[in-house]
Amino acid sequence: MPLTYHHKTHQLQLGIWKSSESMEELEQLAGLRESEIRMVQSFKSELRKKEFLSVRALLHNLHPTSSLVIQYDENGKPYLDNMLSLSISHTQDYVSVLFSPLPYVGLDLETIRPQIEKIAHKFVNDEEANYIDEKNRRQHLHILWGAKEVLYKIYGKGNVDFRGHLYVAPFKCADKGTTEATIRMPDFERTFLIHFERTENRMLAYATGE
């Protein structure tokens, strides 16, 4: 299970991991508590079990000096039992986690695929459609999607219209950069600085805030 990406500052820690181990190896790496073992045993899907174990093995690798246990609030939003904020993302055989002492965190990791064209109308509003770089349309769409997924996870309550509630400011389509993005919900309105970065054929996007 190699760590393929690691970014650490005084405000956050982010890692991406390629999960290539057997279930038995993942169980050893994850260092589960009894409650987590029971949870894994309740899953019927092998994929769900692998994702669960991979995320916890990655957390243990990033923070080996203590056992970080994932909890969930009433909306299903994850956090860590020592009150660190947490965001999780999966794509194919890769898992990623972002944790921070700041109250707002959001993370998205997506494999870059042509299928994004088919769903672009569901998350790109008219203003955003006008500034898409057509020469790099697929990557531009993945950055937009990633930024909006980050906002969705930061909000954490669901019932979000990606076209009507989430807005991404114009940005230069590149392999690495930043853009501002705003969530406008009746009970929450806030702008965040989204960091995005292409790692091989995957697009990473994340943000933190106070």
Bridge partner residues of 104 (DSSP): 209
- Whole-angstrom Cα distance, residue 25 to residue 69? 19
A 10 A CB-CB count for 55 gives 23
Given this model, what pLDDT does residue 37 score? 86
101-127 as b/e: b if 16+ CB within 10 A: eeebbbbbbbeeeeebeeebeebbbee
Q: Confirm if 100 and 11 have CB atoms less than 8 A apart.
A: yes
- Whole-angstrom Cα distance, residue 51 to residue 106? 18
Q: What is the pLDDT of residues 45-65, one digit of tens each?
A: 998 999 999 999 999 889 886
Q: Is the pLDDT of residue 1 over 80?
A: no
- Whole-angstrom Cα distance, residue 89 to residue 193? 19
Q: What is the pLDDT of residues 171-189, one digit of tens each?
A: 999 999 999 999 999 999 9
Q: How many helices (H) and strands (E) does the chain have?
A: 6, 11
Q: Confirm if 167 and 182 have CB atoms less than 8 A apart.
A: yes
Q: What is the pLDDT of residues 99-145, one digit of tens each?
A: 999 999 999 999 999 999 999 999 999 999 999 999 999 999 999 99
pTM for the structure as a whole: 0.94
